[in-house]
Amino acid sequence: MAKNRFFGMIVVFFAQVHFSFLGMGMSMSTSSEATKKVPVAYYDEIKDLPKHREKLLVDVREPSELQSTGRIPMSINVPLGDVQKAFSDDTTEEQFARLYNHTKPHLKDQIIVSCQSGRRSQIAAETLTNLGYKQIKNYKGSWLEWAEKNGLPK
C-alpha cells in the first residue's frame, strides 16, 4: 500500500513538472495549461505581415530545413534549440542582431512563432511566454500550410 501511494505521488509530481532540456536551451511543458495560454495565428495574419512590421515572425526550424524548403517572407530564423538563450536576458540586443540579423524584441512586442507543422513552434511559444513575453502567437499551420497555399515545396 505504501509503495502504491509513493508511486502515485511520483506520477503526480512528474505530471506537474516542466521538463528542461539543459544544454539544448529548450524547455517543454507537459501541462495542457501552458498550451491553452498561447493564442493561435492564422494564414491570413501571416499573409498580412508585410503591412504589420510591428509583428515579428520567428521560424524555429533548423537552417537546413529552410534551405531545402524555403521560408515565409518577413521571418527570421532562430532554431528551437536556441530560443531559450536567444530571447533571455543573457543575450544582449547587439548579440541578437549579429546572430539573427534583426533587432531583439522587447517583452511587449508581438511575436508569432512558426516551424514545419506547428509542434516545435508551440514549444517555442511556451518558452517565450515563460520568459515573460506578453504577445506570443503560434502559427499552427506553419510551413506546411504556407507552402500548400502558395504552391511551394513542403
Read off the pLDDT of residues 85-133 as tens digits, 9 standing for 90 and up: 999 999 999 999 999 999 999 999 999 999 999 999 999 999 999 999 9
pTM of the model as a whole = 0.78
Region 2-150: CATH code: 3.40.250.10
Establish whether 115 is a catalytic residue. Answer: yes
Separation CA 86–CA 84 (nearest Å): 6
Read off the pLDDT of residues 28-85 as tens digits, 9 standing for 90 and up: 444 444 455 899 999 999 999 999 999 999 999 999 999 999 999 999 999 999 999 9
Query: Half-sphere exposure (CA, 13 Å, Cβ side) for 47?
Result: 9
> Catalytic residue among 58, 115, 125, 128, which?
115
Task: Give one DSSP letter per residue of 4-42, joined into a string.
Answer: HHHHHHHHHHHHHPEEEETTTTEEEE--HHHHHHSPEE-
